[in-house]
Amino acid sequence: MKYLVLVLSICILFSCKQNEETQEVTAKQEKIVYDMYEPSEMANLMNQMYAHNLKVKNDILAGNVPTEFPLDFLKIHSAEMSEFKERNTVFQSFSELFIEAEKDIYNTESTVPLEDRFNTTVNLCISCHQTECTGPIPRIKKLLIK
């Protein structure tokens, strides 16, 4: 009988200890936090610009004239950039030229063909991206009207 009580006690002790270890492992697993990429405000703005200009390109190809400059584009001067990027004079210059070129697309009094004004804007994007963030260039080139 003593042996039976001893064996049962040892079994209970080991099962409690295993339960504690399982809880510790579970607690450690719950503490794991994955770093998910979150685009910066500037990256989101650039994606919005791309989507808008893709629509403008399709409108131009369909023979429609764009009518309203998107005021959200002006956020290019203030949108928060990725942690490893910062505004510099080159970016400032390109962003100002981009805004002027983008506004020119909507200028109904311009004598420059609409396709040329649009391509000028896209080429400014490409030129700016050649100085810093080169990754999106192939995507941006798809906006060009040929």
Does residue 134 lie within any of the structural domains? yes
Residue 47 and residue 27 in one domain: no
Q: Rounded to whole angstroms, how far apart are CA atoms 92 and 94?
A: 6
Does residue 45 lie within any of the structural domains? yes
pLDDT score of 14 more than 70: no
Does residue 146 lie within any of the structural domains? no
Q: What angle do CA 133, 138, 141 make, to 5 degrees?
A: 105
Question: Which pLDDT score is estimated for 20?
Answer: 58
Q: Rounded to whole angstroms, how far apart are CA atoms 83 and 107?
A: 36
Q: What is the pTM of this model?
A: 0.74
Residue 74 and residue 49 in one domain: yes
Q: Rounded to whole angstroms, how far apart are CA atoms 25 and 22?
A: 5
Least confident stretch, 49-53, 85-89, 92-96: 85-89
pLDDT digits (tens, 9 = 90+) for 110-124: 999 999 999 999 999
Structure tokens, 20: 């504690």
Residue 21 and residue 51 in one domain: no
Question: Which pLDDT score is estimated for 82?
Answer: 84
